[in-house]
Structure formats: C-alpha cells, structure tokens
C-alpha cells in the first residue's frame, strides 16, 4: 500500500525542570531554537543554556528591550510599534518571525510584556504576549501574571518554555 510515515519516539523526562525537557526534545528532534526577549531580558536564553548539551540546539538569543532594538535586530515595523505599542500580540509575532529569519533556527520563541512597577503604554502590569514560530506558522498567547516585577518575569519565562515544550511534543 503506501509508505506510512513513522512517528518519532522521543524519550524525555517529564519530571525534569522545564528547560531540561525543552533541550532534550530539541536534541531528540534535531531542531534548533532562538529567543527574542524583551520583558524577560535574557532569562529564557539563560534557562536553556544552563542545560548541559544546549549548544547542540541553541542558536542565539536576542534581548531587544527597546523599540529601536526590536526594529534593528528583529525587523519589527516602526509603524506597528507606534500603532500597537511594544506590548502587543502583533509585536510578539514579529519578534519571533524576525528572530527565526535572522538566526535561521528551526523554532523561535518571543516574549514581550509589562512587568511593572507601573502601567506601560496603557497596558496593565502582568500583561505578557508569548509567540512561538516554526514551520511557517506562529502561535501567540496572551497571559496575565500576578506578583511583583521579578515574579512576572519568572512566570513569563516559565510560560514561554512550556509553550515551546508543548509545540515540540505536538510535532514529534
């Protein structure tokens, strides 16, 4: 009859810290990742690269805290930043696409949001957008985290890693 596509069987420890799960899955799938971070300021990159063997799958991390950096490093449109602000679904999506295009990674994760201590661009504290881009598609999710600045940033980092893990598990 026809050739059946064999599903890859991935072995990873679902009880391991999330960054170890992500690196294990990336290595098992022979995929590479890049990050585009604003609110998290490099926390996602640091989490991934803290795992032994991450050099096999981690390409580059972009910390684009300013709008100018988002434009120059990740090709986020100036008009989009002016119209929607840095904390928006559209900007998260463009950050992910830009990072993937610049790095030539298989997958990109981007995070933008407001960690406080005050509202930014009329966006409430704790509002975060996370985008995962791979295979020509980009998924963006909106989050509302509570807590202080440090806690919001940590929750954003964790949620981004969970989104990457879930994408990888879905695509195996």
pLDDT tens, 93-108?
999 999 999 999 999 9
Q: Give, in degrees to the nearest 5, the angle at Cα 149 between 55 and 154.
A: 30
Distances 162 to 17, 93, 131, 138, 148 between C-alpha atoms, Å? 10, 17, 12, 15, 21
CA distance 171 to 98: 22
pLDDT of residue 115 exceeding 60: yes
- For residues 33 and 96, is the Cβ–Cβ distance under 8 A? no
Q: Residue 106's pLDDT is what?
A: 98
Q: With bands split at pLDDT 50, 70 and 90, how would you rate the model's confidence at 171?
A: confident
Q: Residue 172's pLDDT is what?
A: 58
pLDDT of residue 169 exceeding 70: yes
pLDDT of residue 111 exceeding 80: yes
């Amino acid at each position: 009859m026809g050739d059946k596509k064999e599903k890859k069987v991935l072995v990873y420890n679902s009880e391991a810290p999330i960054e170890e799960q992500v690196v294990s899955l990336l290595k098992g799938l022979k995929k590479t990742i890049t990050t585009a971070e604003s609110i998290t300021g490099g926390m996602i990159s640091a989490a991934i690269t803290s795992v032994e063997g991450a050099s096999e799958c981690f390409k580059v991390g972009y910390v684009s805290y300013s709008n100018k950096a988002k434009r120059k490093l990740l090709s986020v449109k100036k008009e989009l930043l002016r119209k929607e602000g840095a904390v928006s679904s559209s900007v998260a999506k463009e950050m992910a696409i830009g990072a993937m295009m610049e790095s030539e990674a298989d997958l990109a994760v981007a995070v933008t949001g407001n960690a406080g201590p005050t509202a930014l661009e009329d966006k409430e504290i704790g509002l975060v957008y996370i985008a995962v881009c791979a295979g020509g598609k980009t998924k963006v999710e909106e989050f509302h985290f509570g807590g202080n600045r440090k806690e919001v940033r940590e929750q954003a980092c964790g949620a981004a890693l969970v989104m990457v893990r879930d994408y990888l598990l879905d695509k195996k």
